[in-house]
Every structure is written in C-alpha cells, then in structure tokens.
Structure 1
Amino acid sequence: MKCPRCGREYKEIIPPFCICGQELEITYEYSNVDVKKWRRRIPGVWRYRELLPKVKKIISLREGGTPLIKARISEKLGVEVYIKDETRNPTGSFRDRLATVAISYGLPYASNGFIVASDGNAAASVAAYSARAGKEAFVVVPRKVDKGKLIQMIAFGARILRYGESVDDAIYYAREVAKLNGLYNVTPEDNIIGLEGQKTIAFELWEEIEPTHIIVPTGSGSYLYSIYKGFKELVEIGAIEDIPRLIAVQVDRCNPIAAEILGITKECRETKALGLFVKNPLMKSKAVRAIRDSNGTAVVVEESEIDSGEKLLANEGIFAELSSAVVMPALLKLVESGIIERGDKVVLVVTGSGLKTGEGGREKFSIGGTKLEILKILREKEMYAYEIWKALGKPLKYQAVHQHIKELIELGLIEEAYRVGKRIYYKLTEKGARLVENL
C-alpha cells in the first residue's frame, strides 16, 4: 500500500503510521464486494476473503465463526444482550483471527520465523499458527504472564523470551530482536496486517443481529479498532448506514484509553486482569477515534468487580478469563446510567477463555521436581539410567528413576541416544531442550 500523504510504499510490514506521521489503513476495492457470496461459504475468517489481504497460502485452524449466544441476563435487565464467545477459537481467544491472516500473509517473508510481543493470547496464537505453517515462533512476553497461556506457548514449541513488566516493554524488545534475527514481526503495534483478521468479527455480528452497542474489553485498543474498521467497511460497501456504538472497558488500575475518553485521571498500575495491563497503548489514537466516530464511550470497572463479572458469565455457561469478565460489570453500569436502554441490541465480546489464565493443562505440560532435574542433567551430557540416578544425589529408589525416564520418553522430552552393551544412553529431544530453556 501507499501512504496517502507522502506516497511511500509498504508491502512486507505495514506499520500503523508512516514515517511521515500519516496513519495507515489497509483498503480494498469496495465496489467489487458481493456479500451474497459470503453466505455461500463456510463460517470463519476467510469467508470474507474479498476484504482480506491476498495471500499465496492460507494457514488456518478453522478460526472465526464463533457462537453468538442470547444472554439469560437479558430478562433481568429488559435489554437484548448477546455474548460473542471468542473462547471457541482454536487456541481459546480472539487473537486466532489475527494469527491466521498475519501468518498467512507473512509466510513469504518469514524464512527465519515469526516474532510477536504479547501479554499472552497473541503469543499463544502465533505459536500455534507458526507450528501449523512449519515455522519457528519467537514470543516476547512480560515477566508476569498467565500460566495457562505460557503452557500453550510451550506446548506449541515457541521460543519464549521474557522481558519487561508489561507488554509495552515487550513490544520494543521484540522490534529489536526481529531486526537482528531477520524475523517477521506480527505484533499489531508494529504491523497492522493481522488486524484485518480481527475485524471479521464485525462481519459476523452484522450477518447475525446488527447490534446497536458492542462492549469490548480493551488493553492495547487493537480489537476495538479492528471491530470499528470492519463496520466502517460495511458502510463502505453499502451493507449498513451506521456503525454500532463501541464501548471500551478498562479497569481502574490501568485505564489510559478510558481516561482519554472520560476525562479522568490516568492510572497505569498492574491489574489481575493481565490482558488489560497496557500502560501506554500504541493503538490508543486509533481506539479513541473508533469510540468517538461511533458515538461510543468507555467504562471503568473496579478491580473488586472483576470476580463478580467472571461469576455472571459463568452463570451464562461461559468461562472467561478475567480480562474478558469486565464486560459484565460494565454492562450493568451502562444500563444503570441509561446509556443502554430497552430496544437496544447489545453484544458483549468475551475475548479469551478462563482456562488460559488458570492451571489448565498443568499435569501434562508442567514438569517439575525429579523430572526437571533429570532434564537438566541430560542437558549437560548423555547418560544411562544408573549415571542419572547417581547424578541426582538424593534418596530415591533406582526403580523410580526408570519410571521417570519412561514417562519423560512418553512426553517426548527425552529419547534413546545410543547403546553400549545393555546400557541405554538417553538425550534430550528438541522439545525437551526447548522446555528446559523456557523453564
């Protein structure tokens, strides 16, 4: 694409802003879009291919096409409330929409692999889709990240780089690592190509109910902006006349976008909703414009209200991560204040699964104690069982070491290196070496 101000061309990486300062936005031949074709295709992100970047090969795990569920709380509030359940995406979050487009588009440029800076969801998604593409994934995450998301990254074989206190720090570090190692950077704050995948939620909502209000958990602001862009394109092709009101939800401990909209004091402290802990969102100007252009607003939820939001969503049959749970208390505030009223069609976007923030999968992928010690020993050199037992240097039956070795082989973390007589020497597999490195 070309910058509309200075004419500079971008192809491989498309940043949010041109070097001349002009905001960049990917556009299409809107006059050629026939929405009737969409309805003849299977649900999912690539159903809307006319409004997505052209790619040579699609890397997909059947993302998108997530359920829209009528909420039981509608009866109590007297308002039509629907839940867009993005937890049903392949890795359990909305970022799979980003990953399928970013990885598919970046494949010709990713000879050395992909990199993304993330608080967790995007890292897990990029790890999964890179694995699907047969490419290496490097993920830069803050020092504090939800355990379930970290487990996913490890399971998909990503190289994990821990850096900084928040995703803000990780973004700058990933940028430098990408340059030094020739990696294709799909971090949305540096490359907006993946946002084209995220916008497809707008097309799905239009096909299903044409909402009046959409309530979105907001950290970096990229998803809210993506939804706005999707609806703006629906206006462009003549499918709708007005964009739904977009409502950003942030927490009182970290509220930079809400502070701009509401004119309140900006706070940038850590919150237990880690996905919303973005101190200086680089997509802030785009998110603010999306809110204002849609006649939307922002809501600040108190830290103490997040758990109640999780329970209210659980009552609807949806287990949401804490960063998503904020939509429920936000809804109650909006109804109470009269911003949402009878006759409105409201969508709550649940961006990620609660399984990603807890201990999900720990028994299978979290290796500790004696097994981790054995992996560390084998990192130094290949050994047979008796040598491993001696190297452990603790009161442990020899037979127990054999059992640990058997289980580590079943997990694909060690394998036979060679034999000398009856002695079997073991070594780390690539997966085992990566696990020790990550842990």
Structure 2
Amino acid sequence: MRVTPNCCEPLSSPVIPPFCCNRRVSVEYDYEMIDPSRWETRERGVWRYRELLPEVKEIVSLHEGGTPLIRAKLSEELGFEVFIKDETRNPTGSFRDRLVTVAVSYGLPHAENGFVVASNGNAAASLAAYSARTGRPAYTVVPCLVEEGKLNQITAFGARLIRYGESVDEGISYAEGLADGKGLYNITPESNLVGLEGQKTIAFELWEELSPTHVVVPTGSGSNLYSIYKGFVELLRIGAIEEVPKLIAVQAERCSPIASEVLGTEPRVEPTRALALYVRNPLMKELALKAIEGSGGTAVLVGEDELDLGQRLLAREGVFAEYASSVIVPALLKLAEEGYFEGDDRVALVVTSSGLKGQYSESRERFSLGGTKLDILRLIGDGEMYGYEIWEALKKPLKYQAVYQHLRELESMGLVEESRREGRRVYYRLSEKGETFLVNMGRLFLKS
C-alpha cells in the first residue's frame, strides 16, 4: 500500500487524511502485481481481496462481507435485470462493518487507549462491536437525531456513547479532538481513508457475481459512493473490467447537498426521516461528485412521502431496510419511468442498513435528556425566553454558551422552537411536541 500524492511533510500518525497540503490523498497498490484469479478459491468476505487492502498484523473480523445478491422480482415488471446487494446481512446489520474491520485491524497497533468514530449510527454500532472483540475501549460520537436501534447496539457492546450536535457533521471535529486528547485511533472516514478500503469490496463482489452496468447507492456523506467507485476503478486498472458501471447517487429531497449539485437544483439541508442520509456538509462531497462524473452516472432525489413505499417494496423482496436504504427503490422507479435504463442493463441496488436498527423515537429522548435540558424545558414551559435569560434562571455553574448548545439540541429534537426575535435576541418556546412531552412526563420530570 502506498499513499499518493506524498504530503509535503511525512504523516505523523497512521491516520491517513483525505487531503494533505491542499492535495487529495489516495491509497494505492502495485496493481501490475494483482492477480484476481487468486481470489476464486478463498472464503467469501472482505479479506478475500487482501492484495487490495492495507497490510495488517492481525485481522479483527466478524465474517463481514460476502453478502447476498438477490434477483429482484421488480425485474419482471421493469423489463431489465435488477439485483439487490443486501448489506443488512453483515454482522451488525450494515455496510459499515466492511469499513470497521479494515480500520480496526490496521489501527490496532496504534490504539492502546482505544478507538473513536463520529457517526450517524451505523459506523458507531459497528465500531462498538469490533472494539469489543479487541478488548479496547470505543468512543462513539453520534448526533441527537439517530435511530433507537443503533443506540441500543452501541450501548449493548459497551462503547462510550457521546451525543453531540444535530447531525454527524458537527461530531467530526469533536471526534478528532477526542483522538488527540485521549490518544485514540480515529476511524471516522472523513478523517481517515483507511476504512474506505474495506467498503470498496462491495464493488469487487458485484463484479464477481454480476458485472453490473449500473449501481444505485443511498448517499449521505458520499463515502460509500466513492468507495464503490474506487473499487471499480481498481478492477479496471488490473484488467478485470473494461468499463466502470454508472453510479447513481440517491439523496432525500430534504437533504441534498450532493445530488442537487449534479441535478442543478437548489440544495436543502433539513432533517429527513432517512436519518442516515442527514449530512448537511459532507466532507466527502468532492470525491462523491468525482465518482458520479467519472462513471458517467447521475443522481436522484426522493421525497419523504416515498420512503414508506420504498421500504414496503423492498420488504416484498424479502429485505427489511431502514429508510435511508429504502430510497433506492423510488429512485429506480423514477429513472425507469424516464427511460434511463435499457433492456440489457443489469442494475444493482445497494441496501446499506437493516430496518431492525429502528426508527427515531420519542421514547429514546426520555433517556437522552439530561438534567439541564429538562430544566430548560421547564423554564420555557412557563413562557418564552431567550438564551442569556435562561442561563441566569438556571443558576448553574456552566457557561452561557452551553445553554445555546442545549437549545440547539432541543430544537433538533423538535421540543422547542424559535418564537420571535428582538435584535440579536432569539426567543424560544415549547413546540407542540415539547408541550406533549412535558405533560406526559410531568410527574417524573417536574419533581425537584
């Protein structure tokens, strides 16, 4: 493995950043020496392709990869071949297990104090499991908006759960700070390219089983889209394929920073029920756009009212997917209706995560709300207030800036909302959901 282009200064740690000295960094191999025929006799899974993965002293594995490829019944209706790559069959139920097995195996010699990741849920749940195997601590930084099932996985595996910010974007720098302060190995893909080498094995498996003409990928940060593209480019470089399949990025209409740039529409960065796709400022955006352009692909936007349809149609195929994965079916139908596909096309739909992860639920908020947030809700319940006023009323030893962080998190949960502004003062009030929350939980939370 080599890292190119070489940075102007040697990397001070085994963490490989996406950019160095204002230049894009890439992990590459001696492609002329790769013989893919060697893979044929090996056990299915991520490490089947070890010649195109970073060298490690010890493999930490839960038998990830080698996931099923299922011919969809939709093929008959649409008139071309459609296959479902079911990543829900990975050990913790998502494609992120491919990332984590490589990142943890590579980082293990440098993780005496443990690992850290910023994640909107799946990578955090995966790290929690793989760290448990190593016996090393895992620190997971996840946003306030996250599905309950993912939180249950994280805590069940014994990882440290840190709730920070509304979306995963805010947690990336926080995780980097934890890594520096506690001496942790950071596997966040926006901070360390190593794990993406594991995700690209989706492309290798699709090539071996299908050789698709198109690959439809749910897209939040863009890391999986780019990983799959890199995998196909490497297959091209070793002479296994003659052309990279067209990659189709699918985003929610409410959060579309990547797809909107491809489609020339106004981007939106609002919360969506497809929470794993809620990435407001994707740091992998440039790489994702490179994957779409380099493959001759496109992007599709899916509305909130189409998420249930996507989930139901996948369920009819025998696959239970979370909303963030379910977007691929409405996207497929839209493109088919536009005549995008031809009769001899072979389309792969990548289902990234299981519906068993669970939807975001108000019940989880009852356990994630700390005492200060509850006090703020109680104060605002008596009448609208602004941040500094709340800070004075709390009479607690905390900085007033912390109150604004609590307000942002309560707002992201839908419990408070802005009521009015007077100059620079922003007044907050309880939302309808917040009022209901306080009424339902009043006997428990209003005791003091």
TM-score of the pair, normalised by structure 1: 0.81
Q: Which residue of 1 aligns with 2:419?
A: none
Shift of 1:2: 4.7
Q: How many residues align?
A: 363
Superimposed CA distance per residue, residues 378-410 of structure 1 (whole angstroms, 9 cap, x where no aligned partner): xxxxxxxxxxxxxxxxxxxxxxxxxxxxxxxxx
Q: Which residue of 1 aligns with 2:246?
A: 245
Aligned 1:368-407 pairs, distance under 5 A: none
Aligned 1:11-410 pairs, distance under 5 A: 12-18=14-20, 20-358=21-359
Cα distance in structure 1, aligned partners of 2:109 and 2:41: 30
Shift of 1:359: 8.9
Structure 2 gaps, min length 5: 368-448
Question: Residues 113 and 137 of structure 1 are in contact (CA less than 8 Å); yes or no, is this contact kept in structure 2?
Answer: yes
Shift of 1:9: 3.1
Q: Secondary structure at the match of 1:106?
A: helix
Calculate the aligned-residue CA RMSD, in Å.
1.6
Name the amino acid aligned to 2:325. Answer: S
Name the amino acid aligned to 1:14. Answer: I
4+ runs deviating over 4 angstroms: none
Q: Which moved more, 1:267-276 or 1:168-177?
A: 168-177
Question: Residues 64 and 90 of structure 2 are in contact (CA less than 8 Å); yes or no, is this contact kept in structure 1?
Answer: yes
Cα distance in structure 1, aligned partners of 2:215 and 2:273: 24
Q: Which residue of 1 aligns with 2:435?
A: none
Cα distance in structure 2, aligned partners of 1:12 and 1:2: 11
Superimposed CA distance per residue, residues 249-273 of structure 1 (whole angstroms, 9 cap, x where no aligned partner): 0011000000111110010000011
Name the amino acid aligned to 2:79. Answer: G
Question: Residues 3 and 9 of structure 1 are in contact (CA less than 8 Å); yes or no, is this contact kept in structure 2?
Answer: no
Shift of 1:176: 1.0
Superimposed CA distance per residue, residues 134-170 of structure 1 (whole angstroms, 9 cap, x where no aligned partner): 1100000001210000000011000000000000011
Cα distance in structure 2, aligned partners of 1:154 and 1:186: 19
Q: Which residue of 2 aligns with 1:409?
A: none
Shift of 1:357: 2.0
Q: Secondary structure at the match of 1:268?
A: coil
Shift of 1:6: 4.5
Q: Secondary structure at the match of 1:192?
A: coil
Question: Residues 145 and 360 of structure 2 are in contact (CA less than 8 Å); yes or no, is this contact kept in structure 1?
Answer: no
Name the amino acid aligned to 1:233. Answer: E
Shift of 1:342: 1.2
Cα distance in structure 2, aligned partners of 1:73 and 1:94: 23
Name the amino acid aligned to 2:311. Answer: E
TM-score of the pair, normalised by structure 2: 0.79
Q: Secondary structure at the match of 1:346?
A: strand
Name the amino acid aligned to 1:118. Answer: S
Cα distance in structure 2, aligned partners of 1:105 and 1:41: 21
Q: Secondary structure at the match of 2:162?
A: strand
Structure 1 gaps, min length 5: 370-439
Shift of 1:4: 2.1
Name the amino acid aligned to 1:17. Answer: F
Question: Residues 5 and 22 of structure 1 are in contact (CA less than 8 Å); yes or no, is this contact kept in structure 2?
Answer: no
Superimposed CA distance per residue, residues 97-117 of structure 1 (whole angstroms, 9 cap, x where no aligned partner): 000000000001101000000
Shift of 1:358: 4.2
Question: Residues 146 and 360 of structure 2 are in contact (CA less than 8 Å); yes or no, is this contact kept in structure 1?
Answer: no
Cα distance in structure 2, aligned partners of 1:35 and 1:243: 17
Q: Which moved more, 1:44-53 or 1:331-340?
A: 331-340
Cα distance in structure 2, aligned partners of 1:321 and 1:357: 7
Cα distance in structure 2, aligned partners of 1:220 and 1:42: 31
Cα distance in structure 2, aligned partners of 1:236 and 1:171: 33
Question: Residues 147 and 359 of structure 2 are in contact (CA less than 8 Å); yes or no, is this contact kept in structure 1?
Answer: yes
Cα distance in structure 2, aligned partners of 1:8 and 1:204: 36
Aligned 1:409-428 pairs, distance under 5 A: none
Question: Residues 99 and 125 of structure 1 are in contact (CA less than 8 Å); yes or no, is this contact kept in structure 2?
Answer: yes
Percent identity of equivalent pairs: 62
